[in-house]
Every structure is written in C-alpha cells, then in structure tokens.
Structure 1
Amino acid sequence: MPGTPETPQAARQVSDAPSPRRLLSTEKVYEGRIWDVVSDSFQLSEAGESLTRDYIDHPGAVAVLPMNDAGEVLLIRQYRHPVGMDLWEIPAGLLDVEGEDFVVGAARELAEEADLAAGEWNVLADFFNSPGSSSEAIRIYLARGLTEVPHHERHERTDEEAEIEFHWIPLDDAVASVLEGRLHNPSAVVGILAAAAAKADGFAGLRPADSPWTAHPSQR
C-alpha cells in the first residue's frame, strides 16, 4: 500500500542468481542449423516430482547500440520471417564463434551490419530473451567514438542482411518510438531504454565492456 514502510525483505538488493536443480535426464530432440531443442527432466526439490521442460539450447548473442557525437543512435531495418515484418533493430548477432571474446563478437557485428568501428565500449544491459523457452542470453553494448570501416574492408551482406537500411535518430525520439509501440525488437527496446536511463548521469554509471557476464551459460 502507498506509504507503507519498506520491510527488510523488500529493501534487499534485487539480483537474479543461479539455482541448480537435480537433473534426471537430458535429450536433444531436435538438431537445428543454428540451435537445438533439448528436453530435460529435473526435480525442483529432493522430494519433488519429476518435471519435463523442452527449450531451445542457444549459443547466446550480443547487440550494439551505436551512438554518435550528436547523441543520435543508429537503427537498422531488417526483414524477420518468423513475424513477417520489417523491424527496426540495432546491430546484433550470434555468439557462434567458439571461444570468441564477447566484445570482439560485438565489434564484429557492428562492422558487418553497420560498417562502423567504435573506440569506446560499455555494457548497457544483460537479459534473457525468452527464459521460459530458450537459454538465449543477450548482452547489449553502448558503442561510441565511431568511425567508418574503409570501403575495401567492408563485409558483403547477403540474404536478409542485403536489404538492411540505416537510420540515425535522436535518442529521445527512439524512446518515444518504443513507448508508442512502434518498435518491437527486444534488443532495440532494451538498449534504447537502458541508454535513456544511463544518460541521466552522462553514462558514468555504465559497466566497463569487459565486465563479467556470469549469466551466460558458457560462464557457469
């Protein structure tokens, strides 16, 4: 109720944490080109009944919100077949290169999808894309100090990426697009809102780019 003092329980820091459970069996029920579907049986407690959950076993991904010196952010438009829509997104890609550093992967995606390199990197946010059905973990970076990749070094985009369009937009306008329901890509939505919140202290509170990412399955 409004005005009710916080209890010690409510005053505790809110933080997600690993919670190992007893795994009874695991089986790959579908092997895909990018990710697999796994069926796990487990117990919530030692005396609990067996539960079975099917989920996508995903390598994870990184996304980048590029911001120029004028405070504008770059959005890219790309067709997404599962939803049958052209979506305004931010550069992003799978962590499908074994052993690749997360920031290196993000820099690779920024170069391949936006023809940009960045001299300043920070972590904006970490999230699970759909934790009820997928292990996909995503880290979003804020990239500043931007320069263009030389033409002779640019990645040749194919398939859906060949249709990518660029649009620089003031951060406040991007926030309005989210709140008015005009943007739907989760990395873009989370990245834009996180950047708007971080702008309040001039981005001084953001984590360094090499901050631990313990929620990513590869780090547990």
Structure 2
Amino acid sequence: MKREVLSMSDESLRENQVSSELIFDGKILHLYHDQVSLPNGEGAFRELVRHVGAVCVLPITDDGCAVMERQYRYPVDRVLLEIPAGKLDSKAEDHEAAARRELEEETGYRAETLIPLGVFYPACAYSDETIWMYLAKGLTRGERHLDEDEFLDVELIPLKELVRAVMAGEVPDAKTQIAILKAAVHEGVLAATD
C-alpha cells in the first residue's frame, strides 16, 4: 500500500505560542497554561506539562532473560512490572550515562554495551517528556544503590515470556511494552514485518 500525504507541509499544522503562564513549579513536573494561535488563525489554550526527560533500559542476560522490576506506582495504585528507568538529572545530562546510572542503581547490573532503541513521547498530547530507550547487553552483577524513597524487587524473566505477557495485556506500562517489543525484534525473538 502506498503512503498518501493529504497536507502540503508540516508547517501548515503548527500551532504558535502567544503566551505562557507557569501554574505549578514542582520538583519533577512544571505545569503551564499556554495561549496558542492555531493554523487557521483562531486562538486556543493548551495545558502543558514540562519534564526534564528520562531514560529506560531493558537489560538482557547472556541466556536471554530480561532484568525486570516490580514496584508500586502511586498514581495508578498498582504494583507494576517495569524495566529500569529514571529521570535525567538535567536536560544536558548524557542519555547513555543516565541509562547506565539507573540500571546500576536499581538492579545492581552494569552493561558492557548499550544499544539505542529509539526515543518516544509517552504523553505528547499534554507533555514534552521525552524518553530515551536502550537495550543493555554484556551484564555484570553488582550491588544496588536505591534512593531512600525507592522500593522495588528485581526478577529475571525470559524475553519470549515478556513478549507473550505484553500481547496478553499483562504489562500495562508503555515504556516497558515498547522496549520489550523492540528488543524482541532486535534479538530475533519476534520477527519484524516489511
């Protein structure tokens, strides 16, 4: 099937900021109320959450198991199965260095190799948060260094089993779903289609 583009350019879709008001300035999130000019010249308001960004990493052992975490997430009041992840210390922080830091802090593992799996926006309708995703290989186990307010369990699960769990709707976390499926294609567990 041939791809068809119905618009002349991306520029014809762009909204332009007219004004911006900081509503809440938190430790992690910053909420803005912006006025924008729409492509048709009309005005509108946007509620926008600004975030420094984050990294996530799917560590795979030599025998094909993923190093996974179970942790309680207050906003959804559930314990979730996730991959190691964390926010950047600043927008200028090196993404690979941040991924290595989070991997070691949360799981105790160090990676010989980090393979970029891409970037995604977890909530682009209302947030500028960007998450950089990595696959970690050549793992060496060490000591965890959890933050005082961090409580999580680590477990090893075969990548093939995780693909099944994602497809069965048993892994509701978006970053974890994306990383598992991308890593499964990269590792030959799941075939990519043309």
Give TM-score, length-normalised by structure 2. 0.87
1:73 matches 2:63: no
Match for residue 155 of structure 1 among 126, 142, 145: 145
Query: 1:97-108 to 2 correspondence within 5 Å?
Result: 97-108=90-101
Task: Measure, in 1, the Cα distance between the counterparts of 2:27 and 2:52.
Answer: 12
What's the counterpart of residue 15 of structure 2? Answer: 21
What's the counterpart of residue 182 of structure 1? Answer: 170
Alignment-mate amino acid for residue 78 of structure 1 = Q
- Which shifted more, 34-43 or 64-73? 34-43
Query: 1:3-22 to 2 correspondence within 5 Å?
Result: 6-7=1-2, 9=4, 21-22=15-16
Alignment-mate amino acid for residue 29 of structure 1 = I
Match for residue 25 of structure 2 among 31, 37, 40: 31
TM-superposed CA distance for 1:125, in Å, is: 2.9
Task: Measure, in 2, the Cα distance between the counterparts of 1:44 and 1:148.
Answer: 52
Query: 1:104-183 to 2 correspondence within 5 Å?
Result: 104-149=97-142, 151=143, 154-159=144-149, 161=150, 163-183=151-171
Task: Measure, in 2, the Cα distance between the counterparts of 1:8 and 1:73.
Answer: 36
- Which shifted more, 98-107 or 71-80? 98-107
Secondary structure at the counterpart of residue 119 of structure 2: strand
Task: Indicate conservation of the 8 Å contact 1:24/1:40, yes or no.
Answer: yes
Task: Measure, in 1, the Cα distance between the counterparts of 2:73 and 2:175.
Answer: 14
Task: Indicate conservation of the 8 Å contact 1:125/1:190, yes or no.
Answer: no
RMSD (Å) for aligned C-alpha atoms: 2.1
TM-superposed CA distance for 1:200, in Å, is: 3.0
Task: Measure, in 2, the Cα distance between the counterparts of 1:26 and 1:97.
Answer: 22
Paired-residue identity, %:
36
Query: 1:87-102 to 2 correspondence within 5 Å?
Result: 87-102=80-95
Task: Measure, in 1, the Cα distance between the counterparts of 2:124 and 2:16.
Answer: 19
TM-superposed CA distance for 1:198, in Å, is: 1.9
Task: Indicate conservation of the 8 Å contact 1:125/1:191, yes or no.
Answer: no
Secondary structure at the counterpart of residue 113 of structure 1: helix
Q: 1:7 to 1:164 in 2, by over 3 A?
A: closer
Q: 1:124 to 1:53 in 2, by over 3 A?
A: same
Gaps of 5+ in 1: 1-5, 11-16, 203-220
Give TM-score, length-normalised by structure 1. 0.78
Task: Measure, in 2, the Cα distance between the counterparts of 1:128 and 1:98.
Answer: 15
What's the counterpart of residue 41 of structure 1? Answer: 35
Name the count of aligned residue pairs: 185
Structure having the larger proportion of residues in strand: 2
Gaps of 5+ in 2: none
- Which shifted more, 74-83 or 120-129? 120-129
